[in-house]
Amino acid sequence: MIAIGSNIITPLGDNLTMNIQQMLSDCSSVKIYDNKWNLPPFAASMFSENYIEDLFASYADSASYTQFEQLAVLSVAKAIEESKIPVDSRQVVFVVSTTKGNVHLLENNPQSEDLYLWRSAEKIARFFGNTNPVIVVSNACISGLAAQVYAHRLLQQGKYKYVVVVGVDILSKFIVSGFQSLKAISNDFCQPFDKDRKGLNLGEAAATVVYTLEAEHGIFNYCSGAIVNDANHISAPSRTAEGLYKAVKKMNMSVAPQELGFINAHGTATLYNDMMESYCIDRLQMNAVPTNSFKGYIGHTLGAAGLVETLLSVQSLKEGRVVATKGFKQQGEEKIINIVHNHLSTDKKYFLKLISGFGGTNAAGLFSIP
C-alpha cells in the first residue's frame, strides 16, 4: 500500500518537516501544567489557546465545527492537497481513528450530538464533500496503526481506490483526570525506557495519510501490519509481550532486522509498557536494532499516535536520521535493547512501528521509503 499524501499537526508544528526539525534540535512541546482544569500538576503537549481556531478561521467558517473536528479537517486538507485525489468521489473512503473524540463536550454540552464519534467523523468527511460511509476505529492507543491495517484491507476489498486515514485526539479534563486516577501520568517530563521513568505525558495531535494500492510516485510504503490481543489484563500488558511479539511474527516481515533503520517503539515511559516492549524486542532478537520513542517530544497522542509516529518515522528516515529518545538516560532492569541516546545517521529504508494499548491490544507495522 502506497502513501500519496500525508500531514501532521502537533504543537511542534503544522507539517512534517517542521516537526522533525524541532525534534532534531531537541525541542519538545511538553510543558508542565500547574492547576490547569483544577487538576494536580501534570506534563503534557498541548496546543496554545486559540491556535487551532485561528488556523481554521483563516481556512473556513468555524461555527459548526468543534476544536477536535477543526484539527482533523486542517490535517486532512493538507494531505489531500498533496495527494490530488478527487476527495468527493465514490472512490474515496475516510477512516477516522480516535479514542475520545469530542468527550470534552460532556462538561458544558452533555446532550450534544457531536459526542457521537460517527457523527463527528461524518462531519470531517462531509466537509470535503465525501458522502461515503465513514469508518471509525476506536481501539484505544493502537487505533492509529490499526486504522492503517484496516485501510489496507479496505483497499484490497476493491470497493475503494483511495483511503484517507486520519488520526486525531485532543486533551481535556476528562482524559487527563482519568490517566491521573490510574496513576499513569508523570508531573515531570517523561523518560521512555529510563530506569527512573515515572509515567507518561499526554499529547494533542492530528495526522493524515492518503493510501492507495498503485501509484507512480509514493511518499512511503506500508509493507505489512498486524493486530494481536495478548488476552492478559484490561489495563496491563502481558509481561512476556505475548501479543506484541505475535503481532510482529504474524506480519511475516520481508526484511532481516539488519535492514531496519530503527524500531519506533510505543515507549510511553510507564513502567509496564516499556518493560514489555524491551521484552518483545529481546524475544525477537532485535536487541541490536536502534530503538526510539517520540513521547518525550510530543507526548502520547492517544488515537493519533499510531499515525503521527509512523509519519515522523518516515520523515526522519527520509532525512537519513534516527531521532534520539528524549528523556532517556539509563536503561532499567529490563532486557537490554539498543535505545537511541543521540540522533544517528542511517541509510536504511525500513522501519518497524510497535504500539500497544488498554484492552490488551497490540499492533505492529513495517514501512519503507522509496
Residues contributing to the site for other proteins (CB under 8 A): 99-101, 103, 106-107, 110, 115-119, 121-122, 133, 135-140, 146, 150, 153-154, 156-157, 173-174, 177-183, 226-235, 242-243, 246, 250, 357-361
Cβ closest to other proteins, residue 56 vs residue 160: 160
CB-nearer residue toward other proteins: 69 or 122: 122
Q: In whole angstroms, how close is the CB of 253 to other proteins at the nearest point?
A: 15
Find how far residue 86's CA is from the centre of its chain: 26
Spatial distance between the Cα atoms of 108 and 101, rounded to a whole number of angstroms: 15
Q: Distance between CA 170 and CA 302 in Å, rounded?
A: 9
d(CA 173, CA 222): 35
What gap in Å lies between CA 193 and CA 331, rounded to an integer? 6
Residue 37 CB, shortest distance to other proteins, in Å, is 9
- Residue 295 near residue 346, CB atoms below 8 Å: no
Nearest-approach distance from CB 291 to other proteins, in angstroms: 24
Instruction: Work out how close the CB of 110 gets to other proteins at its nearest, in angstroms, rounded to a whole number.
Output: 7
Rounded Cα–Cα distance for residues 257 and 290 (Å)? 10
**Dist. CA 154–CA 148, nearest whole Å:** 10
Residue with cell 537511541: 340
Residue pair 294/309 in contact by the 8 Å Cβ criterion: yes
Residue 346 CB, shortest distance to other proteins, in Å, is 31
Tell me the C-alpha distance between 60 and 276, whole Å. 44
DSSP 244-310: HHHHHHHT--SS-GGGEEEEE------HHHHHHHHHHHHHTT-TTS-EE--HHHH-B-GGGHHHHHH
Q: How far is the CB of 180 from other proteins (least distance, A)?
A: 7
Least Å from the CB of residue 134 to other proteins: 8
Alpha helices by DSSP H, 161-270? 173-181, 242-250
User: Smaller CB distance to other proteins: residue 150 or 351?
Assistant: 150
Q: What Rg value do the Cα atoms of the chain yield, rounded?
A: 19
Task: Please state the closest distance from residue 305 (CB atom) to other proteins, in A.
Answer: 14
Nearer to other proteins, 117 or 289 (CB): 117
CA distances from 131 to 19, 76, 121, 147 (A): 32, 15, 11, 19
Q: Which is nearer to other proteins, 51 or 174 (CB)?
A: 174
Nearer to other proteins, 110 or 285 (CB): 110
The nearer residue to other proteins, 147 or 190, going by C-beta atoms, is: 147
> Closer CB to other proteins, residue 135 or residue 210?
135
Residue (185 or 323) nearer to other proteins, CB: 185
* Nearer Cβ to other proteins (19/361): 361
Supply the minimum distance, in Å, between the C-beta of residue 236 and other proteins: 10
**DSSP character at residue 219:** S
Q: How far is the CB of 284 from other proteins (least distance, A)?
A: 16
* Residue 147 phi, psi (nearest 5): -60, -35
Q: Is 145 helix (H, G, I), strand (E, B) or coil?
A: helix
